Amino acid sequence: MISEAVKIVQEYSVEEVLQLLERVQPLLHQEPRLLKLPNKPLLFVGDTHGDWESTQRLLTKYWHTPTIFVFLGDYVDRGSFQIENINLLLYLKTEAPNRLMLLRGNHETPSINRAYGFFDRVQLSLGDVITHYWKVFRDLPLAAISVQHKIFAVHGGIPETLKEVQDIDSLPMEIEPVNPITFQLLWNDPRETVKGFGSSMRGDRIRTFGQDITEEFMAKNKLDLIVRAHEVFPHGFHEYFDGRIISLFSCREYHGPIAGKALHVTSSSERNLVPV
Ligand SMILES: [Mn+2]
């Protein structure tokens, strides 16, 4: 299945890419902004940034199992196979919408695509179709929750002004996220040294958050774990706050080699970091 999908995506014409984007957009549009994950084993995948070999390896490894894939965003920009990477994931979404969940990362936005390569790459290889990708990115869900495994999944982190986790469901679908809650879901970072919310080197509208915020959020929402991405670690993962948050990075190359990791959660909620 995966090797067939890879072949299909490799041979796409511009017309076929447009058809794919038109097929997948309504599918994503009808998903809730806060996905409820099914009662199944889960594989969480961090940033892939155009490293579609990493994506293929993980898909191949678990596709024949009952595992549901939860990709945490940042599919495009930077790597060599950005278009192939996002097209493969979107194609599989159309073929098996319940097998993989695609969350939005901060790189699935126009301003970041203009700065980090996806805009130029699309313009060069496909012509004037970037706005069709942006409509698809607008409709990607923003977070996911597993009641059974007690896991919350998001690209960045906990937003400062989020009152109830259910409020994520009523966030607007924006091509360029302006809503501060949406923006911070995609951008915020946990920090061991921060109490409450703190400033971020990444920018004015972005916040860092400490263990106190994390514990409060988790208690309120009956969670055991937050899985997020958004930061590079040489070993592909980092545990924050005594393992309350696991941060994943799933590329095998990023200014040098990376031992990319994904997180597999079994039906009995056992957690295993798996190499990409
Ligand atoms: Mn990111």
Say how many Å lie between the CA of residue 91 and the centre of ligand 1: 22
Say how many Å lie between the CA of residue 105 and the centre of ligand 1: 6
Tell me the pLDDT of the chain averaged across its residues. 97
Q: Each residue of 180-233: pLDDT tens digit?
A: 999 999 999 999 999 999 999 999 999 999 999 999 999 999 999 999 999 999
Question: What is the tally of structural domains in the chain?
Answer: 1
Domain-located, residue 255: yes
Catalytic residue list = 107
Domain-located, residue 104: yes
CA 171 to chain centroid: 17
Say how many Å lie between the CA of residue 229 and the centre of ligand 1: 7
The reported pLDDT for the residue numbered 253 is 87
Q: Each residue of 97-135: pLDDT tens digit?
A: 999 999 999 999 999 999 999 999 999 999 999 999 999
Over residues 36-59, mean pLDDT: 97
H helices within the chain, ranges in order?
Answer: 2-10, 14-29, 52-62, 82-95, 110-116, 118-126, 130-138, 180-187, 211-220
At what angle are helices 2-10 and 82-95 packed, to 10 degrees? 130
Domain-located, residue 85: yes
Domain-located, residue 205: no
The reported pLDDT for the residue numbered 79 is 85
Q: Give dist(CA 53, CA 229) in Å, integer.
A: 18
Query: What's the whole-model pTM score?
Result: 0.98
The reported pLDDT for the residue numbered 256 is 87
Domain-located, residue 57: yes
Count of C-beta atoms within a 10 Å radius of residue 238? 16
Say how many Å lie between the CA of residue 234 and the centre of ligand 1: 16
Domain-located, residue 208: no
Residues, the chain: 276
Domain that holds residue 69: 2-155+226-275
Domain-located, residue 190: no
Domain-located, residue 211: no
Over residues 87-91, mean pLDDT: 98
Say how many Å lie between the CA of residue 189 and the centre of ligand 1: 10
The CATH code of the domain that includes 101 is 3.60.21.10
